[in-house]
Amino acid sequence: MTAEGQIVIPALALRSSDGARLDMDATARYAQRAASTWADALILSGSTTRGDLLTIDERTELLDLWSRVVPASRLVACCWCQDDVQEAIRRAITPMVVMHSPRDDDDALSFLARLPAGAYVYSHPKYDSRVLDAALTTTARQRCVLPEGAKLSKVTSTDITAIRRAAGPLWTLWDASSRQVEVSFAAGASGVVASPLSHFPIPFPDRSLGTLQPTIDAVQQQLDRLPTREARSRFLVKLAAKEQRVTANP
């Protein structure tokens, strides 16, 4: 069976050996590797690489670098503040705005109403915010403030089905987990976010679920053993560095 929905991969932010700055040369090589794959979309400065810990200038620098290598139509900028949103729009990159301020439905609907046309949102309960669930999706659609799409974390297949019904058949719904790609698509997700592929393994798996899911699972099992998001990010960066050495020394 082929993965007919979107496979979305979060990009990593590669830093110098001392961690003091972004390594733009290594990141450019990494971006070229990503561009050569069939990945449907790439998320820049997302939570997988702790984009919230980057400065606004660093996140903007990454937008420029990736824009030189990958068409803007394949890029999604995770936006942690309003300046990030404006920088993404200037480059014709889809902004995916983190929901980390709405505390209740009224706040959430006001937040959604302020989003620029075409924006996505990133909903995760860890940000102590009102998440985008089926009830809020229904109200947002009724009030014509539903965003273009969303990345939804910590949702079950039942949640996905309910949100899909509330949003309608054409809305972009990304399950932030790729643990069960086929199940996510069957429930109504239009894409899954595959963090375990962030290092862009060589060879890159094809779209066959028989190849894709085991490749994801092998890395996910290693990520699950790590205690923190920072540790998981560091592990993926090490894998990416290993793949770059393979590319440099075929």
> What confidence score (pLDDT) does residue 243 get?
79
Question: Where do the domains of the chain lie?
Answer: 6-248
- Give the pTM: 0.95
Q: Please state which CATH class domain 6-248 belongs to.
A: alpha beta
Q: Which mean pLDDT values do the consecutive 10-residue runs of the chain (250 residues) have?
A: 87 88 94 97 96 96 97 98 98 97 94 97 92 98 98 98 98 98 97 98 94 97 95 94 66
> What confidence score (pLDDT) does residue 245 get?
67
DSSP string, the chain: -B--SEEEEEPP--B-TTSSSB-HHHHHHHHHHHHTS--SEEEES-GGGTGGGS-HHHHHHHHHHHHHHS-GGGEEEEESSHHHHHHHHHTTPEEEEE--S--SHHHHHHHHHTSPTT-EEEE-GGGSS----HHHHHHHHHTT---SEEEE-S--HHHHHHHHHHH-TTSEEEES--TTHHHHHHHT-SEEE-GGGTT--SSPP-SBHHHHHHHHHHHHHHHHTSSSHHHHHHHHHHHHHHHHHHHH--
